[in-house]
Amino acid sequence: MPPQTSCKKFQGTVSEYLVRHKSILDVMSKFQEASAHVNRAMAKAVTNCGCLKIKAEKQPVSPNVNFSEVSKYVKTHIEGSLCSNCREVVEAELGNAMFYIAAFCTLLDLDLEKILSKENDRISTLGVYSLT
């Protein structure tokens, strides 16, 4: 038997420990809550810690720029980088959100690795045009 990929291993672990919130309704609401926690962790990195700054303004893209070149002009609006504490919190919150993505896959009998592979293929094939 070939070794499991980390994606398959993760989905298997989630499947094994998905006990308390096994209802699809629980998974849906917990995923939404987990997503909110990711957003809150990012906001705290800005407002409580200050390791990040957000300097948002209109993206400076000329109307004459070809769509495939837009990425050269758009900005993330992020200044600075996550400190070790904020990085740990954001990683933990993203991990929790990923738990519920894997839970969706488990409850719906979907293969998370296959989904990621298909999405990667779609993005690779279509390139920047997949994001319009």
pLDDT band of residue 131 (cuts 50, 70, 90) is low
Contact 127, 75 (CB under 8 A): no
For residue 53, what are the β-bridge partners? 79
d(CA 58, CA 88): 31
Look at phi and psi of residue 55 and say left if phi exceeds 0, alpha if psi is from -120 to 50, else beta: beta
Q: What confidence tens digit (pLDDT) does each residue in 67-115 have?
A: 777 778 888 999 999 999 999 999 999 999 999 999 999 999 999 999 9
| The predicted structure's pLDDT at residue 115 | 96
Please spell the DSSP secondary structure of 37-50, one letter per residue: HHHHHHHHIIIII-
| The predicted structure's pLDDT at residue 129 | 61
Which alpha helices (DSSP H) does the chain contain, by range?
6-17, 24-44, 84-107, 112-126
pLDDT band of residue 128 (cuts 50, 70, 90) is low
pTM: 0.85
Q: Is the pLDDT of residue 1 over 60?
A: no
Contact 45, 82 (CB under 8 A): yes
> Distance of alpha carbon 5 from its chain centroid, rounded?
19
pLDDT band of residue 64 (cuts 50, 70, 90) is confident
| The predicted structure's pLDDT at residue 42 | 98
Match domain 6-131 to its CATH number in 1.10.287, 3.30.420, 3.40.1130, 1.10.260.
Answer: 1.10.287
Percent of all residues in the chain with a pLDDT value above 90, rounded to a whole number: 70
Q: Is the pLDDT of residue 2 over 90?
A: no
Contact 130, 118 (CB under 8 A): no
| The predicted structure's pLDDT at residue 130 | 54
